[in-house]
Structure 1
Amino acid sequence: MIKPTPNPPVRLFTVSDGIDTEDLLVNLRETLASANALSCDLAFDLEGTKREELLGVAQLIELAQLLADRVHEEVGQAAAASN
C-alpha cells in the first residue's frame, strides 16, 4: 500500500539547548545576511524572469532580517528593563 504522505525528512542539524536567545538572534541575522548576499550576487549574474525570481527571494530574506532585528531589539529592551 502506498502512503498518502511521505515520512518527514530526518533532521541533519539541530540547535543545542541552553543557547542564549540573543546569541540565537545574532546568528539568525548573520545567516540571513549571508543568504541575502548570495542571492543578490547570483541574481546579478542572471537575466529575465530568473533574475526577478531571485531578487524576489532576496526581498523575502530582507523582510526576515527586519523581523529578526525587531525581535532582537525587543529582547534587548526587555533584558535592560529587567536589570
Structure 2
Amino acid sequence: LKSVSLYEQIVDVGRDQRRTEQAMAALRELIKRFPQTDYARDARLKLDLTKDHLAGKEMAIGRYYLKRGELVAGIRSRL
C-alpha cells in the first residue's frame, strides 16, 4: 500500500524527484518480500515506469544544457 501511495505522488519531470526515488525503494521492497504475488507483478510494472520517469528527468536536464549551449557543464553535472 505504501508503494502505491508513493507511486501515485510522482510529479512531472520538472519537479523534485524525491517521491519517485522513494516509490522505487518501496516497490523494490515489495517485490523482495512478496515475489510470487500479483502485487509484485504490478510493482514490477510500476518500477519500470518509475525508471522511465527518472530517465525523462535526465533527458530534461540534458535538453536544458543543450539549449544553453553548455554541453560540458551538462556532462559534468550528471557524473
Could you tell me which of 19, 35, 42 is aligned with 2:30? 42
Unaligned runs of 5+ in 2: 1-13, 71-79
How far off its partner does 1:72 sit?
1.1
The structure that is helix-richer by fraction is 2
1:17-48 Cα offsets, whole Å, 9 max, x none, are xxxxxxx55x22x3322211111112211122
Taking structure 1 as the reference length, the TM-score comes to 0.55
One-letter amino acid of the counterpart of residue 71, structure 1:
A
Unaligned runs of 5+ in 1: 1-23
Q: RMSD of the TM alignment (CA)? A: 2.0
* Identical aligned residues as a percent: 7
1:75 corresponds to 2:64? yes
Structure possessing the higher radius of gyration over alpha carbons: 1
**Displaced runs of 4 or more, over 4 A:** none
